[in-house]
A and B are shown apart, each in its own frame.
Chain A
Amino acid sequence: MPGAALEVAGLEVAYGSVPVLRGIDLRVDSGSFVALLGASGCGKTTLLRAISGFVQVNAGRVLANGRDITHQPPDKRGMAMVFQSYALWPHMTTAQNIGYGLKLRGQSRDAIAKRVNEILAMLKLQGLGERMVTQLSGGQRQRVALGRALAINPDILLLDEPLSNLDARIREEVRHEIKALQQKLGITAIHVTHDREEAMVMADRIVVMDAGNIAQQGAPEDVYNRPVSAFVAGFMGAGNAIRLEARPSGNGLRIAAGPDNSAADVTKPALGPGIDASYAGPVIAHFRSEAAILSAASDAPDGALVLRGRIAQASYPGGHYRYGVSVGDLNVIVDSGQRLNVGAAVGVRLPVEALHLFPADGRANQQSFKQAS
């Protein structure tokens, strides 16, 4: 097991009397790429800024390679940050921007020029060294900002939504470039983003944040497939939520038939980490629009949970149709390849593995999900 490049323990930060981080515990392995994922205002940027030393910490500790840096100034932490605004210095050329950190370290002019050229070549910015940064395009500026941070060989690279100012097409490209670069250099990276796909594509480990707490952390597949709370399920794309009744049965839970749904048995391992097999009472089931299958209203359940509803809305986002299906007084979104008419009665088949169940009496979960959606 690789050592921890960074450890955060019991970290609390408040702006005035408003708590922003409520006791964060985080471990970042050396050489890994960690994404802090969350909606705006969840504290992810504050966490990054507390790690980098730009924000005063109220309680808790930050350790880099085992060294307590909680009260170290930002320039003594061995980290380098790439800013959302890029924060390039407009009174300097590209080469001066990239070489500034080396100049601070008292390196010779030749050594700086050599390293700057290396960085320019690595980021495909050859020939732009003498250009003023104000004359560069958005994508180029983003690379210069990355180059400036990488030039000093930081122990940890901090990325504060560095892709959010780029065009969608360039963004996809840069995602892979940054990831490839990080792997090539073996550098530890912490990336803040509100974009789920970006986090999934780039990170080895995803930390989902909600209201100043870590809601869940783990490998991308883990967080995506086994959300521990309704909030995480909703944030990771399982946006459909329906209310059901459940009781323990055998090796899992039995969902009771309701006015709009059939009965189904959800047994381990299909039963996720969000609920206990001994739970009895109302549950909230989250599922993804692409995990549901539309069938005729009269089809037999066959082990799956079937919701009975009517098509209320139809659209074609490309590749498949997207339907708004009204089930009772709820609306769920379902993707399907079939062309169906508005008003048609349908059955929404949900394989039990596609269901993420959570206790419905956990009101807090419900509320935080609503805020995020």
Chain B
Amino acid sequence: MIQLKWLPRGIVLGLLIFAIFGPLANLALWAFAEQWYYPHKLPLTYGFRFWHQVFKPRGDAIESLYTSVTIALFTVAACLAIALPAGYALARLRLPFRAVIMLAFLLPQAFPSLAVYINIARLFYGMGMNGTITGVVLVHTVHGLVFAVWITTAAFAAIDRDLELAARSVGASALRAFMNVTLPLAAPGIMASAVFVFLESLDEFTGTFFVGVPDVITLPLLMFTASIAGNYQIAAITALILLVPSIAFMLFVERFLKADVMAKVGA
């Protein structure tokens, strides 16, 4: 008799694959479709015409990519500048209300983002920060801080305190011990939080929309404009560009981040 035990499992797995890769396949089709209209199930002609359009020198996409990456790098720098000392303090010192402090970083995410960003936009108007890179970096930093602080706290907490004390005991000052022992050991976790903040900034839409438009156009905003205007090819290609760093990050986390660090995130 033929064994059919694998069948339900196979069906579930197949549906899952379809749910994940279906939209991606659609994205890939649109990225290379030169002509595709109803009622045709598949594109009529394929080609790189829209890729040329997107990547042409001084095109919107290249400029947006440049803007996006600039904002993301500044956001990472700002987040780490706060998260490194904050994470170390939260991991090492016996702070009162430690849990409350940890949760406070989550607050920006706790309220409906539209309401929050409309009000931030109003405030920034008053200060002349609307439409500036600084304004967008600030919004992204507040958004990314929760990941940065939580992950760096976990990274520092995973390092045995005796490792630092051992450095102190053979003559290292507190700063030397931190630079020579704690920081190198926490580096994978700090890298992960940096990459995470970078990706969050790269993908961020709502805040950028309210604070940056029309002067600051990032890739997600470009994608939005393109798809509203019916330029699905441009939108699809932009989406694919945005996909590359995310996948790279997944591989990084899988390769470098130890389970004991991930287990301490948010703890």
Could you list which residues of chain A lie within 8 angstroms of chain B, going by C-beta atoms? 52-54, 73-75, 79-81, 83, 85, 87-91, 100-101, 104-105, 145, 148-149, 151-152, 158
Name the distance in Å between A252's Cβ and chain B's nearest Cβ: 50
A79 to B171, CA, bound (A): 9
Within 8 Å of chain A (Cβ to Cβ): is B35?
Answer: no
Contact yes or no, B174 A87, CB < 8 A: no
Q: Given the known A-B contacts A85-B160, A87-B162, are A75 and B185 also in contact in the complex, defined by CB atoms under 8 Å?
A: no
A80 to B166, CA, bound (A): 8
> Lowest 4 A-B CB distances belong to which pairs?
A101-B170, A87-B162, A87-B166, A81-B169
A91 to B170, CA, bound (A): 17
Within 8 Å of chain A (Cβ to Cβ): is B168?
Answer: yes
Contact yes or no, B171 A73, CB < 8 A: no
Given contacts A80-B170, A100-B170, A100-B172, 6 further A-B contacts (CB under 8 A): A53-B168, A87-B162, A100-B180, A104-B172, A151-B170, A158-B169
Within 8 Å of chain A (Cβ to Cβ): is B214?
Answer: no
A74 to B167, CA, bound (A): 10
Residues of B in contact (CB 8 Å), total 18
Contact yes or no, A91 B184, CB < 8 A: yes
Within 8 Å of chain A (Cβ to Cβ): is B165?
Answer: yes
> Considering only CB atoms, which chain B residue lies closest to A76 in the complex?
B171
Residues of the A chain whose Cβ atoms lie less than 8 Å from the Cβ of B160: 85, 87
> Considering only CB atoms, which chain B residue lies closest to A145 in the complex?
B166
Contact yes or no, B170 A149, CB < 8 A: yes
A87 to B172, CA, bound (A): 15
Q: What 1/0 mask marks residues of chain B from 144 to 188 whose CB sits below 8 Å from any chain A CB?
A: 000000000000000010110111111111101000110011000
Contact yes or no, A104 B171, CB < 8 A: yes
A52 to B162, CA, bound (A): 13
Name the distance in Å between B14's Cβ and chain A's nearest Cβ: 43
Name the distance in Å between B184's Cβ and chain A's nearest Cβ: 5
Contact yes or no, A75 B172, CB < 8 A: yes
> Could you write out 26 A-B pairs with CB less than 8 Å apart?
A73-B173, A74-B168, A75-B168, A75-B170, A75-B172, A79-B169, A80-B170, A81-B165, A81-B166, A81-B169, A83-B166, A85-B162, A87-B162, A87-B166, A89-B163, A91-B185, A100-B172, A100-B180, A104-B171, A104-B176, A145-B166, A148-B166, A149-B169, A149-B170, A151-B170, A158-B169
Interface residues of B in 75-98 (CB under 8 A from A): none
A89 to B174, CA, bound (A): 16
Q: Given the known A-B contacts A89-B181, A90-B185, A91-B185, are A101 and B171 also in contact in the complex, defined by CB atoms under 8 Å?
A: yes
> Considering only CB atoms, which chain B residue lies closest to A84 in the complex?
B162
Contact yes or no, B169 A80, CB < 8 A: yes
Name the distance in Å between A69's Cβ and chain B's nearest Cβ: 13
Contact yes or no, A105 B185, CB < 8 A: no
> Considering only CB atoms, which chain B residue lies closest to A100 in the complex?
B170
Interface residues of B in 84-117 (CB under 8 A from A): none
Q: Given the known A-B contacts A89-B181, A100-B180, are A105 and B171 also in contact in the complex, defined by CB atoms under 8 Å?
A: yes
Residues of the B chain whose Cβ atoms lie less than 8 Å from the Cβ of A80: 169-170
> Considering only CB atoms, which chain A residue lies closest to B187 in the complex?
A91
A85 to B161, CA, bound (A): 11
Residues of the A chain whose Cβ atoms lie less than 8 Å from the Cβ of B185: 89-91
Residues of the B chain whose Cβ atoms lie less than 8 Å from the Cβ of A91: 184-185
Contact yes or no, A152 B166, CB < 8 A: no
Residues of the B chain whose Cβ atoms lie less than 8 Å from the Cβ of A83: 162, 165-166
